[in-house]
């Protein structure tokens, strides 16, 4: 099946542009990682996985 030329850069181009846009704020990145680790260590993310969020095939430990 041939792809249509829509004049748009396509998903790879859009993702690349989003990743390259602007400089990375190193301090903001460090704060985000610290917040994630604090929540993880506090057990905030210990909630069970909802069945609709579990994409594993049935029978492989899925809920």
pLDDT tens per residue across span 15-32? 877 777 677 788 998 999
Is pLDDT larger for residue 38 or for residue 8? Answer: 38
Say yes or no to pLDDT of 40 above 70.
yes
> How sure is the predictor about 61, in pLDDT bands with cuts at 50, 70 and 90?
low
Buried b (16+ CB within 10 A) or exposed e, 35-60: eeeeeeeeeeeeeeeeeeeeeeeeee
Taking residues 35-60, what's their average pLDDT? 79
**Residue 47 near residue 63, CB atoms below 8 Å:** no
CA distance 19 to 17: 5
**Residue 53 near residue 45, CB atoms below 8 Å:** no
CA distance 59 to 61: 6
What is the chain's mean pLDDT, rounded? Answer: 76
Q: What is the pLDDT of residue 24?
A: 75
């Amino acid at each position: 099946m041939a792809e249509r030329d829509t004049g748009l850069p396509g998903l790879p181009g859009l993702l690349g542009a989003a990743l390259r846009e602007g400089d990375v704020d190193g301090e903001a990145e460090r704060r985000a990682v610290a917040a994630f680790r604090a929540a993880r260590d506090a057990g905030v993310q210990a909630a069970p996985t909802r069945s609709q969020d579990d994409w594993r095939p049935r029978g492989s430990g899925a809920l």
